[in-house]
Amino acid sequence: MIAYLKSDAAPKPKTIAAAPAKPDKTAGRVTCSIAHGELFLHLKEKRGERLRLRWDEGTGRERELPAGTYILTGYRRVAKGADGAPWIWSTTSSEYARIEVKAGETLDIDVRDKIVLKTGAIVRKGKLRLSLAFQVEPRLGTTLYRNGKRMAIGWEGLDAKGAVLTDGTMRYG
């Protein structure tokens, strides 16, 4: 699998990172609540032709797409931590949402900017099983990166007095 990914056999998405100099009247425009990051999508009938709409800080908000129905498969947000380190959270799904881009119109896409943490615990036969999940949206897998590396998410199980009973590192997937 790694050899396949490194081989360039998988087509790279076409990146659209700016508004066109001369707008096309047969196309629509897309804006997004992401200040710095990307949306990943493809035309409904052209699954193999992936697109990436990219926004960098200080660039215009509109991106132009041919009119049509698109499948939004995820997005990536980029931010800086208090220490200046780059943080990224990346989401993915086979079909997060369908969007309709109409000629001459602007579609505003608002994506969540908060990560939800869900925890659970079950006791069976005297054994404690803990679950930990974080995600941005219910149907999107979420991965966190800091300084370009996937983050290990540590956790602790505490008793009623706050003493650590167990701890570990969450596995992705």
- CATH for 64: 2.60.40
| 144 within some domain | yes
Question: What's the pLDDT at 10?
Answer: 63
Residue 50 phi/psi, 5-degree rounding, is -80, 150
Q: How many domains is the chain partitioned into structurally?
A: 2
**CB 65, CB 28: distance < 8 Å:** yes
Asked if 71 and 126 sit in the same domain, the reply is no
Per DSSP bridges, beta strands 86-92 and 141-146 are antiparallel
Q: Which 8-state DSSP code applies to residue 162?
A: S
**CB 118, CB 137: distance < 8 Å:** no
Instruction: Show which of 58, 93, 109 is a domain's final residue.
Output: 109
Asked if 75 and 134 sit in the same domain, the reply is no
Asked if 28 and 74 sit in the same domain, the reply is yes
Its pTM stands at 0.75
CA angle (99, 103, 105) in 5-degree steps: 75
| 100 within some domain | yes
Which whole-number Å values give the CA distances from 17 to 31, 47, 84, 162, 164, in the listed order?
A: 12, 21, 24, 49, 48
**CB 53, CB 32: distance < 8 Å:** yes
Question: What's the pLDDT at 4?
Answer: 53
Asked if 58 and 82 sit in the same domain, the reply is yes
| 18 within some domain | yes
Question: What's the pLDDT at 6?
Answer: 60
| 173 within some domain | no
Asked if 20 and 105 sit in the same domain, the reply is yes
Asked if 13 and 90 sit in the same domain, the reply is yes
What average pLDDT values come out for the chain (173 residues) when binned by 10 residues? 58 85 90 91 86 86 93 89 86 87 93 79 84 75 83 82 86 69
- Domain range for 164 is 116-168
